[in-house]
Amino acid sequence: GMSSGLAMLVTAVLAFRQRSRDRLAPVLLFSALGLFGFVSWMGKVVVHTNLEPLNITVHMLGALALVGGTVVAIVRVRNRTGVTVPATVGSGARWLLGAVLVLALVQIILGTQVREQIDHLGNTSDDCCRDTWISQLTGIFTVHRFTAWALCMLGLAAFLALGAGDKLPSHFNRLRWAVLILLGMEYAAGVVLTRWALPAAVQPVHMMLAAVLFGVLVALAAGSRRRPLPLRASAPADTLPADSPP
Phi first, then psi: what are they for 87, rounded to 5°? -85, 140
Q: Could you tell me if 169 and 87 are in contact, meaning their C-beta atoms sit under 8 angstroms apart?
A: yes
Distance CA 217, CA 107 (A): 14
- What confidence score (pLDDT) does residue 191 get? 94
For residue 132, the 8-state DSSP code is G
Which of 43-47, 126-130, 206-210 has the highest average model confidence (pLDDT)?
Answer: 206-210
pLDDT at residue 19 greater than cutoff 90: no
Q: How many CB atoms lie within 10 A of CB 198?
A: 21
Q: Which has the closest alpha carbon to 220: 40, 54, 99?
A: 99
List of residues 6+ apart from 181 with CB closer than 8 A: none
- What confidence score (pLDDT) does residue 227 get? 66
Distance CA 23, CA 46 (A): 35
Interval 60-75 mean pLDDT:
92
Distance CA 36, CA 244 (A): 77
pLDDT over 70 percentage in the chain: 88
Long-range contacts: 118-125, Cβ < 8 Å, 24+?
118/198, 118/203, 119/51, 119/56, 120/51, 120/53, 123/50, 123/51
Distance CA 223, CA 87 (A): 6
Distance CA 3, CA 10 (A): 11
157-198 pLDDT, tens digit each: 999 999 886 788 999 999 999 999 999 999 999 999 999 988
Crossing angle (nearest 10°) for helices 139-163 and 170-195:
160
Beta strands 224-226 and 87-89 are parallel
- What confidence score (pLDDT) does residue 241 get? 53
Of the two residues 101 and 226, the one the predictor is more confident about is 101
Q: Which of 77-81, 100-104, 140-144 comes out lowest in average pLDDT?
A: 77-81
**Cα 56–Cα 138–Cα 192 angle in degrees, nearest 5:** 75
pTM for the model stands at: 0.85
- What confidence score (pLDDT) does residue 231 get? 47
Which of 79-83, 127-131, 132-136, 233-237 has the highest average model confidence (pLDDT)?
Answer: 132-136
